[in-house]
Amino acid sequence: TVVLSGDGGDEVFGGYRFHLISSRIVFLRKIPKILRKIILHILDKIDHKYAILIREALRVSLIEEDCKFYSVILHGDFITTNAGKRWIEDKLRYCLSITGGNLPEAIRVFDLLFRTLGDNFLVKVDRASMAHALEVRSPFLDYRFAEFSQRIPTEWKVDMFNTKKLMREIIKDILPEKIVKRGKQGFDPPLARWILKEKYLNEILEKVEILKEIDEDLYRFYREKVFRYKDEDIYKTYLIRLFLFIKWWERWIKGKGEVNYYMK
């Protein structure tokens, strides 16, 4: 059985909030730096979704190097570790070089090549579909289509307020308006309920020392923050990541332990 997937649509056409933010940064940098700092100070006192988006863009607009974009935006992610920062800044610097310093386009290319697809969404889709005898194909990631998208001006794809502009324009006479104008609707499996049971939490606590062999900063982050506040939602994600990493490390690096794909 063959099914079609929409994977790649956001990366090719500019569908993530980071793409909106990067477009806003280009505009905001036309405002004097001192004025941006004053506006940011005011917005820090306002708790509204639009204020938060503008605040993010203002904060990043104040950094000197565009390659640090994700280092500022992604709070608390692995990117805040030294190894993560170096990796992402090197890759983003490369994307800026091949897009002529066009920040919105560089962010989109970075997502297409490095952030969301190859080692993330596509791997998960492949594994889940093959486990159920499905063949998933992603038309948006046809190499000819992806290459063509690189020649489309950035402003046709995304601006300060609209994502996937060209795609929406193409399909507006084919699909209902409510579909064309609908925002992103992500799907998060209930991993916390599946994995964060007492016996798995105990295993994580016992085996966290594995991180010492890889990154001391990351080890300290888990010891000082994640385990201390493990009941808070933001840190549950890190516990899940660590559990999966431990299973992978034992199976493929240490050569011991068995992977039980159907955990009770």
For 92-119, the pLDDT digits (tens) are 889 888 888 888 888 888 888 888 787 7
**Domain, as residue range, for 218:** 191-253
Note every long-range contact of 192-196, with CB atoms under 8 Å and residues 24 or more positions apart, other chains counting.
192/236, 192/240, 194/263, 195/239, 195/240, 195/243, 195/244, 195/263, 196/236, 196/239, 196/240
Q: What is the pLDDT of residues 154-188, one digit of tens each?
A: 888 888 778 888 888 888 889 888 888 887 776 66
Q: If DSSP codes are grouped into helix, strand and coil, which group holds residue 135?
A: strand
120 lies in a domain? no
Say if 249 falls within a structural domain.
Answer: yes
183 inside domain: no
215 belongs to a structural domain: yes
pTM of the model: 0.65
Q: Is the pLDDT of residue 263 over 60?
A: no
Within the chain, residue ranges assigned H as helices are 9-13, 17-28, 33-43, 49-61, 69-73, 82-98, 103-110, 122-130, 143-149, 154-157, 165-171, 177-180, 191-195, 198-207, 216-221, 233-248
Specify whether the CB–CB gap between 51 and 43 falls below 8 A: yes
Percent of the chain exceeding pLDDT 90 equals 0
Is residue 176 in some structural domain? no
pLDDT confidence of residue 8: 86
Number of structural domains (the chain) is: 1
Tell whether the model's pLDDT for residue 250 goes beyond 60: yes
pLDDT value of residue 234: 59
**Is residue 217 in some structural domain?**
yes
> What is the spatial distance between Cα 139 and Cα 143, in angstroms, rounded to a whole number?
9
